[in-house]
Structure 1
Amino acid sequence: MRLKDAAEITEACSGDALVLWGAQAMGPGVRAWALGEAVAVACPGLNRRDRITVRGEPGPVSTLVRQALEEVGPSYRVTGERALVEEVAARDTRLRVLGTFGWMDTPPGDPGPALTRPPEPGAGWLHATREEEVSALLARAAPTSWAVPGVPGVRRWAGIRGDDGHLVAVAAEAWSCPPVGFVAGVATAPALRGRGYGERVCRFALGELAAAHERVALMVDTGNHAAIALYERLGLRGRPLAAAGLDGA
């Protein structure tokens, strides 16, 4: 069954933040399908990849993934909970798991006290003219960041400056949609890590988005234990994800 609008997506996925984020409010080019309680949503250019976000039992999800790939083409990557994606890939020999990572989000409508207290001193949204500074910091602190200035979907940057006036930590709002505010591109100058700058800028950005969206979320490398501990202090909880794609695509 094809799903036609954001309301149908919300009902079909039981408010799953990952799928709601993957649907991007059924914006341009987004297509969605449901089979029983299984859901698959194909969105182009989401977090720098064409993605099919899935949830449900492996059998019907596998059926939806095959249908989706026939319609949207081989560039799309299947993204969802790790065990589900691994099972879908095992059922379809054309697919292989390309990577694993984590998803973290807040409970629906309850960002918690860490994100609702007064804004962090010194942290704020940066003017667009400061994006060269952001790029320079990312090049030093997070050269593999998926969010960088100028990438489609990266909307604005929060930052905090050190005592000398230089930008020392940043976080981006990127690929948000009405139900889910999304943060990416978190980075702190290497020489200044461990001094709380990253936590202050994350608390500001996540708090700002929590005030405007039902939930806030981000993705994190599973081996980045310091970042995971930080996000947990800020009230986010995680689950393991994986992405799979067609061989040779």
Structure 2
Amino acid sequence: MTGRAGDVATHLVWAAQGRPDLVRRYGSALAVAAPGLSGRDRIAVSGDADDAVPLVRDLLAELGPGFRPFGDAGLIAALARRIPGLAPTEPFYWMETAAPGRPPRTETAAPGGASGAFGVRWLDAAEERMPEPLFERWFPRSHAQPGRSGVSRWAGVHGGSGLLAVAADAWSAAGCGFVAGVVTAPEARGRGLGTAVCRFVVDALVREHGRAALMVDAGNMPAVAAYERIGMTERLFDAAAVVA
């Protein structure tokens, strides 16, 4: 199962993590149960609500209430209405692209022969812990952080005081690379560094997996606009959790 295969949406491809045998089907509905994926136990779901309701209901009974269904916002709202104890959480955008990122017109060339614009490059093994202060101070709730399971590699931009912006290749799968852990130091914001780092990672993942995706809070419109500028398109998603 790679890319968009027939009616298999990209978020299911990502959730399957290269395991097509994990896909469950009921009528038009498809679901993938993915424990520990990007910091949560998740159930990726798509299809018609009439078929998705019994599919998700059975999966929750089998797997337990800690799993969270996620998918298109309208579908999740229908699941929450029709499955007792299930409630929507906070909406977010699933953003993806199958094309290399578009460079902003204002971006400068990489100095000193570095790998990407603004000097963006992959961090080497000796630098893999360098992003830690950025997350400790500015993004402690990020699921992708140095040393955590599922994070494959980091790209970053260096400045005189250390790393200024980073993004991770994390929980990527055959058919869908995944970008996470995007953070820029406050003193470096407004210069396009975060966008440049994201585009660098997106370009690599599109080349390697055919498609790249990420998730961003629906209220974070500056980030959504930045990802749109590098060619990503968004769909409004939601997740649901079992509540007492």
Report the residue type matching 2:128 in the other structure.
E
Q: Deviations over 1:80-130 (max 9, x none)?
A: 1111101101001221112221110014xx346549x99324111112332
**TM-score when normalising by structure 2:** 0.89
Match of 2:83 among 92, 100, 104: 92
Bigger Cα displacement from structure 2, 68-77 vs 180-189: 68-77
- RMSD, matched Cα: 2.2
Matched, 1:102 2:93: yes
Q: How far apart, CA to CA, are the structure 2 residues paired with 1:113 and 1:169? A: 19
Is there any run of 5+ residues in structure 2 with no aligned partner, and where? 110-114
Contact kept? 2:178, 2:214, Cα under 8 Å: yes
Q: How far apart, CA to CA, are the structure 2 residues paired with 1:127 and 1:21? A: 26
Q: Deviations over 1:198-236 (max 9, x none)?
A: 111111111111111111000011111111111001000
Q: How far apart, CA to CA, are the structure 1 residues paired with 2:61 and 2:239? A: 18
Match of 1:142 among 129, 139, 142: 139
Secondary structure at the aligned position of 2:119 is classed as coil
Q: How far apart, CA to CA, are the structure 1 residues paired with 2:90 and 2:101? A: 31
Secondary structure at the aligned position of 1:212 is classed as helix
**Identical pairs, percent:** 43
Contact kept? 1:140, 1:190, Cα under 8 Å: no
Secondary structure at the aligned position of 2:209 is classed as coil
Q: How far apart, CA to CA, are the structure 1 residues paired with 2:102 and 2:196? A: 14
Secondary structure at the aligned position of 2:18 is classed as helix
Is there any run of 5+ residues in structure 1 with no aligned partner, and where? 1-5
Report the residue type matching 1:131 in the other structure.
E
Report the residue type matching 1:90 in the other structure.
R
Secondary structure at the aligned position of 1:201 is classed as helix
Secondary structure at the aligned position of 1:202 is classed as helix
Report the residue type matching 2:74 in the other structure.
A
Q: CA deviation at 1:165?
A: 5.4
Bigger Cα displacement from structure 2, 49-58 vs 63-72: 63-72
Report the residue type matching 1:48 in the other structure.
G
Deviating 4+ runs (over 3 angstroms) = 110-115
Bigger Cα displacement from structure 2, 179-188 vs 149-158: 149-158
1:55 aligned partner? 46
> Kindly tell me: are residues 38 and 111 of structure 1, through their superposed partners in 2, closer, same or farther at Cα, counting changes over 3 Å?
farther
**TM-score when normalising by structure 1:** 0.87
